[in-house]
Amino acid sequence: MKKLYCITSHCNTKDKIKALKETIKTLNDLNRDILLISHIPLSEDIIESVNYFIYDRSNPILYYPERVMYVWNKIPIDNKTVSLNVKLPDYGFTAINQFSRVASFCDNLDYDFYEFLQYDVIFTDEILNSTLNENFLTKVYDPNHGYRWPSLMWFGVTPATMKLIKNEWTRKDYVEVNLRDAEEYVEKKYTQYGFKNLDIMVEDKCGFAVNNRDYWFNFNKYNNLFKIFSDGASIILYDLVNPINFQINDNCINVQGNIQIYTPIEEIDFMGYYDYEDRLVNILELLKAPDDATRSIGYE
């Protein structure tokens, strides 16, 4: 069976480059045919070590209102439940875009089967010696939840399915289908095409995990004395270690617990708190949101 290993990548650190080179070397040592796709330029030695190289500088991240990932955190304030809502840019389509680009490129190639591999996959005998020639999906180890299914780190594609990926896995379709993430999108498509579930756990070398969800809901990166969140129209202080004196402009407030302060950000010229030595610490800079997400506050 003539097989092509299609490596997806976005290697922008030394560790990722190292992992990519190790993946390519493992396949080369076994005389496997390799296609590599990257959103960013790669060195000549990497390019020359594979059979086919696709450089696609587009890295389509989807933003509100086209498509977002929605997360929330609920906290109590004054006997009511307040929801801290965050709409994150959707990075999932970057993966779908690479699959589609590869499928378009392979349309004129003559292979019996294709396997997609993430650049930092940890090889096992099952991966290296697979003889399957039908669509298959696996699951990936997730340090936060045990595993996620399906995995985009290793899955198999028939030539017929490659043509479907080329024609159907579009930005418009991804947005209109509007599922939870890229993994769920691939699952839906594969359910339509037919596939074998290998029930194999795949792991990666570099890994990606959001170990602290507070990143989305807490602007305070200085200390753990309190957390702060804003939707632009008001400010929420919550999860205080101890009561603090908190000051906005000329107004000083003794904060005992979770509180919502209805002052729009554009009206704040000074924001700070008094530390344990009764020094007023200026934290106006914390009003800058830590990313390009869209935030709102809801009530129950």
Residue 105 has pLDDT above 50, yes or no: yes
Q: How far apart are CA 140 and CA 151, in angstroms?
A: 5
- Mean pLDDT rounded to a whole number for the chain: 91
Tokens representing 33?
Answer: 């045919």
Beta-strand relationship, 33-38 and 52-55: parallel
* Residue 145, amino acid: H
CB atoms inside a 10 Å sphere around CB 251: 10
How do residues 19-43 score in pLDDT, each as one tens digit?
999 999 999 999 999 999 999 999 9
Q: How confident is the model at residue 289 (pLDDT cuts 50, 70, 90)?
A: low
Looking at residue 59, what is its pLDDT? 87
Instruction: Tell me how long the chain is.
Output: 300
Q: Closest Cα partner for 227 from 181, 177, 291, 273?
A: 273
Looking at residue 210, what is its pLDDT? 45
Tokens representing 218?
Answer: 């807490």
Looking at residue 276, what is its pLDDT? 86
Q: How far apart are CA 281 and CA 216, in angstroms?
A: 23
Residue 225 has pLDDT above 80, yes or no: yes
Residue extents of the structural domains in the chain: 3-65+90-202, 214-299
Contact 51, 36 (CB under 8 A): no
The listed CATH number (3.90.1640.30, 3.90.550.10, 3.30.360.10, 3.40.50.800) that belongs to domain 3-65+90-202: 3.90.550.10
- Edge-first strand listing for the sheet containing 68-77: 68-77, 80-89, 294-299
How do residues 123-179 score in pLDDT, each as one tens digit?
999 999 999 999 999 998 876 667 778 999 999 999 999 999 999 999 999 999 998
Distance of CA 122 to the CA centre of its chain: 19
